[in-house]
């Protein structure tokens, strides 16, 4: 479809041009923004947004005028909600964009509809999450409000080091993606057969829980919208059990906590 009026590539479409990993929306539309007052319409698979745009927010990719990454992240949050927002925010942080830059883009949207979503996502974002699955798992925990969520928590003892994706109190939470168990030739990350990966994971979990820690595991199906509330209820139940058995302080683990970053 040919555009007859000046436009800027924006939202999801801008994210793809920037190489910014995001959650795919349904239906998948082409998004463009025209400078003007707030408003929009969808026609022939193209969603037309009308909104104020600062010239400083415009970049060119392959001769296409595109809104920059911070503005794109804010637009995605307003358009699609918190799940999409947190993935876009963490993707931007992982690519080297600062939290301040993301909040600055949101600050330009005073009184715009749904602006509270990208604002909260920018505050919650954590570049230490390593995948969309971890981004959504972190969001599950943040929304539960059960304590400070620490990403990439590591313990070491006698030359052995093990990491967990998240820690809240004395409870660990691990996101398990299928790629962890698939061989590299099949598009995964495993360098050994799946059975060996499972055994290695069991030994790692047993070793970590030996420090009087609880653990929950989350898979991709658990972070889908139709399972979101059910997964939160399970995590709350498992966290509560750990808290009743072991408390929440990890002061006794101070000699074993890894102080360096995982990567």
Percentage of the chain exceeding pLDDT 90:
82
> Residues 13, 106: one domain?
yes
**Residue pLDDT, tens place only, 185-209:** 655 566 778 788 888 999 999 999 9
Q: What is the pLDDT of residue 249?
A: 98
For residues 120 and 12, membership in a common domain is answered with yes
Measure the CA–CA gap between 126 and 81, rounded to whole angstroms.
18
Please calculate the CA angle 84-32-37 and round it to the nearest 5 degrees.
95
Query: Regarding predicted confidence, which is higher, 85 or 185?
Result: 85
**Cα–Cα distance measured from residue 198 to residue 185, given in angstroms and rounded to the nearest whole number:** 18
Tell me whether residue 180 is in a domain.
yes
In the chain, the number of structural domains is 2
**One domain, residues 138 and 200:** yes
Residue 57 is assigned to a structural domain of this protein: yes
Q: What confidence score (pLDDT) does residue 234 get?
A: 98
Tokens 């969001």 belong to 139
The domain containing residue 55 runs over which residues?
Answer: 8-124
Higher pLDDT, 263 or 251: 251
Does one domain contain both 158 and 61?
Answer: no
Long-range Cβ pairs for the range 224-233 (8 Å, 24+) = 225/83, 228/140, 231/140, 232/140, 232/143, 232/144
Residues 110 and 154 in one domain: no
Question: 70, 99, 124 — which closes off a domain?
Answer: 124
Q: pLDDT tens digits for 15-44?
A: 999 999 999 999 999 999 998 767 778 888
Last residue of a domain, one of 103, 124, 145: 124
206 and 113 in a common domain: no
* Separation of CA 83 from chain center: 8
Residue 4: predicted pLDDT: 44
Element (H, E) at 99: helix 99-107
What is the per-residue pLDDT for 194? 75
Residue 58 has pLDDT above 90, yes or no: yes
């Amino acid at each position: 479809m040919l555009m007859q009026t000046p436009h800027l590539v924006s939202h999801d479409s801008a994210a793809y041009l920037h190489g910014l990993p995001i959650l795919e929306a349904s239906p998948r539309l082409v998004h463009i923004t025209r400078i003007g007052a707030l408003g929009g319409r969808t026609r022939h698979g193209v969603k037309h947004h009308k909104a104020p745009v600062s010239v400083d927010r415009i970049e060119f990719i392959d001769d296409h005028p595109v809104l920059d990454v911070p503005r794109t992240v804010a637009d995605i949050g307003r358009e699609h909600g918190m799940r999409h927002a947190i993935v876009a925010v963490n993707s931007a942080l992982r690519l080297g964009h600062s939290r301040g830059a993301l909040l600055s883009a949101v600050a330009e949207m005073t009184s715009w509809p749904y602006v509270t979503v990208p604002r909260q996502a920018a505050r919650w974002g954590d570049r230490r999450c390593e995948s969309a699955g971890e981004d959504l798992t972190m969001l599950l925990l943040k929304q539960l409000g059960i304590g400070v969520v620490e990403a990439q928590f590591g313990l070491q003892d006698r030359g052995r080091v093990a990491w967990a994706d998240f820690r809240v109190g004395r409870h660990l939470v691990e996101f398990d993606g299928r790629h962890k168990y698939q061989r590299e030739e099949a598009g995964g990350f495993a360098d050994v057969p799946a059975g060996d990966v499972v055994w290695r994971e069991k030994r790692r979990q047993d070793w970590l829980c030996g420090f009087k820690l609880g653990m929950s595991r989350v898979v991709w199906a658990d972070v889908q919208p139709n399972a979101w509330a059910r997964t939160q209820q399970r995590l709350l139940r498992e966290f509560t059990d750990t808290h009743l058995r072991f408390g929440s302080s990890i002061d006794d683990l101070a000699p074993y906590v890894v102080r360096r970053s995982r990567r």
